[in-house]
């Protein structure tokens, strides 16, 4: 029987990247996927949501066209066509991943894999069950939406992110339970499409891990679109009828909605595949790994959402690289100090490293640099003056500790700060880089300069009086 050097279980951004990386390194690799390759990210996560987000963004831009002298009236929006376009985007990208796997010589098995003892993986399909022999295994089985018993998901009216991405008609009203990034992204998108949206969040604020100022900007934009936001509130019961649902909130209010999105978190997908039975230690359902992505079972690695760490596609892909290197005899360790991420609300939030609030709670003294989009010439030209940039630098030595950006292209802008952080630059060094004019990244330069009181297009802050040689 053929023995593979590496078998990857799960074909999401963790698994398919691991398989390709291993094949590029010359290993004999197979990938087992029970559904379509691309995983949650490509089929039910990042990509379909961002296809819809692009539509919402365009709709918003068209609505503000009159400011440019372009009169289009209220655009006629066909949700069904937007949903079909989203499906086409997904299919096209899934096809791309299939081609990449094939082109790199990765053997793809369709079916559900489980561990069956050292070096043995079972692959089960409705029509047959087979086994393969492998030297090393990488678990990349991802995560699933959390569905609390009190919020009975029926897939028709009460939905998770999986089902809401499959609906073909725009709901007149949508109740979003959970004000994390998934809930807030859907709320922004559906509010822009014209649904009446309500968000209910148990905690005192939406997006609790993000910069407070950035979140306030998003909340303001949501309220301008008539989104009702209930924080420090829980949904006590849901009464589902033919026409929709009535939710009873902890404050005594009732909310009626055509559809409900339950977005209260995701849990590692680790049960039923023989992990624990074969020595893979789990903690609260997550596969426990060391910095080299090794599990407690010899020759078994795990990456991505199933490890219960930072649940982001690019983190899963990064871990794939580490796991493959180590499965092939290397000694690499994951480092999560610089992980940029984006919350695709309207406006979007781009963030990396620590927030100002994180630094305060850790007792780290910081210099904070701020710059507003309304002071950027490019933002004014584009009519995108909403938002701000904040860079947080260590007061001790000026090293950049983090950035939070809310506004147009925040997702792109944050990448520059991530590179600067990776290079351990100080904010003053970042501020001295030449930036092309007129562009949005000039705001990064200004915010970086502002940490030492030297932003040019900003008044009201005195330059720190430091001698030239003393500048960080
Ligand atoms: C609505 C939504 C929006 C998101 N947006 C973003 C975003 O904008 N940016 C971002 O970075 N992240 C985003 N995420 C998170 C991102 O999708 C995940 O972090 C990422 O997909 C995790 O990758 P993974 O490879 O660990 O697992 P997954 O992508 O979940 O892939 C796991 C794969 O394993 C397969 N599988 C599971 N068990 C078995 C088995 N026993 N045998 C065979 N196959 C199996 C599954 O079918 C699946 O294809 C979003 C998530 C959601 C839900």
What is the per-residue pLDDT across 220-240, written as a single tens digit (0 to 9) for each?
A: 999 999 999 999 999 999 999
Cα 36 to ligand 1 centre (Å): 11
Handedness of CA 196, 215, 382, 418 (dihedral sign): negative
CA of 318 to the centre of ligand 1 (A): 14
Calculate the average pLDDT of the chain. 95
What confidence category does residue 186 fall into, taking pLDDT thresholds of 50, 70 and 90? very high
Q: Give the largest CA-CA distance in the chain.
A: 76
Size of the chain in residues: 472
Pick the atom of ligand 1 nearest to 266's CA.
Answer: 53
Residue 435 is among the residues annotated as catalytic for this protein:
no
Binned at pLDDT 50, 70 and 90, residue 462 comes out as: low
The predicted-structure confidence for 412-460, as pLDDT tens digits, reads as follows 999 999 999 999 999 999 999 999 999 999 999 999 999 998 888 887 6
Q: Which of 18, 37, 142 is the pocket-test mutation for ligand 1 (most atoms within 8 Å of CB)?
A: 142
pLDDT score for 251:
86
- Atom 17 (ligand 1) nearest CA: 41
Give the pLDDT score at 314.
98
Using the Cα atoms of residue 453, residue 456, residue 459 and residue 463 in order, give the sign of their dihedral.
positive
Higher pLDDT, 126 or 254: 254
Q: What is the pLDDT of residue 464?
A: 56
| pLDDT tens string 372-400 | 999 999 999 999 999 999 999 999 999 99
pTM score of the predicted model: 0.96
Q: Read off the pLDDT of residues 250-299 as tens digits, 9 standing for 90 and up.
A: 989 999 999 999 999 999 999 999 999 999 999 999 999 999 999 999 99
Pocket of ligand 1 (CB under 6 A): 9-15, 32-35, 39-41, 45-46, 49, 112-113, 140-143, 161, 182, 269, 273, 304-306, 311-314, 316
Compute, in angstroms, the gap from residue 72 CA to the centroid of ligand 1: 39
How confident is the model at residue 247, as a pLDDT?
97
pLDDT in tens, 21-52: 999 999 999 999 999 999 999 999 999 999 99
Residue 460 confidence (pLDDT): 66
Q: Which percentage of the chain shows pLDDT scores above 70?
A: 97
State phi, psi for 101 to the nearest 5 degrees: -65, -45
pLDDT tens by residue, 104-119: 999 999 999 999 999 9
How far does residue 270's CA lie from ligand 1's centre (Å)?
Answer: 13
Are 263 and 183 within 8 A, CB to CB? yes
Pick the range with the lowest mean pLDDT from 289-293, 343-347, 462-466.
Answer: 462-466
Give the model's confidence band at 469: pLDDT under 50 very low, under 70 low, under 90 confident, else very high: very low
Going by CA atoms, what residue is nearest to atom 3 of ligand 1?
45
């Amino acid at each position: 029987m053929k023995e593979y050097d590496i078998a990857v279980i799960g074909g999401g951004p963790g698994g398919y990247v691991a398989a390709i990386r291993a094949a590029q390194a010359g290993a004999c690799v197979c990938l087992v996927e029970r559904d379509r390759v691309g995983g949650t990210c490509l089929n039910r996560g990042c990509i379909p949501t961002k296809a819809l987000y692009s539509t919402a963004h365009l709709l918003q831009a068209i609505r503000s066209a009159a400011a440019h002298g372009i009169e289009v009236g209220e655009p006629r929006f066909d949700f069904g066509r937007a949903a079909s376009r989203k499906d086409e985007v997904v299919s096209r990208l899934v096809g791309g991943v299939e081609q990449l796997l094939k082109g790199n010589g990765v053997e793809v098995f369709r079916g559900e894999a489980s561990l069956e003892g050292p070096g043995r993986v079972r692959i089960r399909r409705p029509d047959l069950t087979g086994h393969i022999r492998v030297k090393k295994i990488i678990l990349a089985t991802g995560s699933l939406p959390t569905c609390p018993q009190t919020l009975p998901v029926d897939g028709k009216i009460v939905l998770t992110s999986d089902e809401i991405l499959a609906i073909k008609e725009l709901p007149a009203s949508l109740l979003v339970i959970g004000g994390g990034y998934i809930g807030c992204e859907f709320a922004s998108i559906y509010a822009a499409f014209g649904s009446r949206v309500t968000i209910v969040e148990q905690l005192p604020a939406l997006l609790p891990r993000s910069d407070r100022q950035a979140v306030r900007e998003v909340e303001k934009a949501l309220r301008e679109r008539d989104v009702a936001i209930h924080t420090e509130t829980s949904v006590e019961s849901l009464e589902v009828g033919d026409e929709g649902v009535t939710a009873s909130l902890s404050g005594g209010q009732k909310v009626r909605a055509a559809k409900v999105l339950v977005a209260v978190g995701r849990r590692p997908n680790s049960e039923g595949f023989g992990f624990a039975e074969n020595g893979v230690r789990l903690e609260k359902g997550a596969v426990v790994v060391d910095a080299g992505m090794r599990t407690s079972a010899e020759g078994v690695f795990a990456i991505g959402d199933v490890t219960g760490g930072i649940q982001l596609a690019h983190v899963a892909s990064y871990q794939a690289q580490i796991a493959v290197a180590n499965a092939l005899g290397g000694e690499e360790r994951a480092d999560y100090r610089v992980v940029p991420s984006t919350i695709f609300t309207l406006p979007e939030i781009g963030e990396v490293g620590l927030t100002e609030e994180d630094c305060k709670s850790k007792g780290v003294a910081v210099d904070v640099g701020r710059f507003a989009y309304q002071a950027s010439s490019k933002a004014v030209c584009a009519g995108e003056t909403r938002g701000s940039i904040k860079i947080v630098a260590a007061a001790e030595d000026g090293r950049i500790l983090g950035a939070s950006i809310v506004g147009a292209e925040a997702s792109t802008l944050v990448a520059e700060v991530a590179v600067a952080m990776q290079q351990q630059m100080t904010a003053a060094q970042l501020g001295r880089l030449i930036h092309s004019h007129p562009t949005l990244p000039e705001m990064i330069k200004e915010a970086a300069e502002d940490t030492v009181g030297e932003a040019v297009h900003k008044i009201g802050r005195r330059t720190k009086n430091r001698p030239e040689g003393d500048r960080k």
